[in-house]
Amino acid sequence: MSFTIAEDLERPTAVVFDADLPLVNASRTGDVSAFEELVKKYDRKLYRVAQGLTHNHEDAEEVVQTAFLKAYLNLHRFQGNAKFSTWLIRIAMNESFMKLRKQRSNKEQSFDDQNGFGSESSNRNQLDLTDWGANPESLYSATELRQILENCLQTLQPTLRVVFFLRDIEGHSISETSGILNLTATAVKTRLSRARLLLREELTRYLKKRQ
């Protein structure tokens, strides 16, 4: 099942405190400047999300523009069951996955598809990239390391890449990541563990080739 705005808004959850609500409510009444404030506040955030998933500057810029447009047109459907920023990020992620599906013919699936990335029941232990004995910084510049990481991230399926991106790159907590993706904390931890494992293996192969 693909993510849609309506599907998200119909999910019954408790109303949460959101500092953006005054701007959201003002935007609903036609205050364009209020929505412009929201755009300024989250423009770079959405771009990082889109860039992290599409790995393409032009696609990321288009995703951001489309996400803000869809958010503005659907403000009347935002019920406050999640923070506005969470709702906005979900829209940007959905747009990013739509980009990927259009570009690839190998059935890329959106993050809410429970069968989209293989075994979640893997019994391998959760691994942390910082556990490596060798220190990559001693071999490559920070710029080259970022490029290597970006290349390896592209090998992950989007359902795993998005969890790794939110948790380990953007620094969201497990709880925040769960809220953004509409997943349980257990599912987030499982996907994160799988993403770290696959990324570690890919990075190891990549670095060995460079030595």
Is 79 part of any domain?
yes
What CATH number does the domain containing 24 carry? 1.10.1740.10
Token digits of residue 150 = 């970006």
Q: What pLDDT is attached to residue 123? A: 35
DSSP symbols for 89-157? HHHHHHHHHHHHHHH-SS----TT-TTSSS-S---SPP--GGG-SS-GGGTS-HHHHHHHHHHHHTTS-
- Co-location of 149 and 200 in the same domain: yes
Token digits of residue 65 = 């523009």
- Co-location of 96 and 149 in the same domain: no
Cα separation of 190 and 187, whole Å? 5
Whether the pTM exceeds 0.85: the reply is: no
What's 10's DSSP letter? T
Q: What's the pLDDT band for 145 if we cut at 50, 70, 90?
A: low
Residues 89-138: tens digit of each pLDDT: 999 999 998 888 887 644 444 545 544 433 333 333 333 333 333 444 44
Number of domains in the chain: 2
Q: Tell me: pLDDT of 30 over 80.
A: yes
Is 109 part of any domain?
no
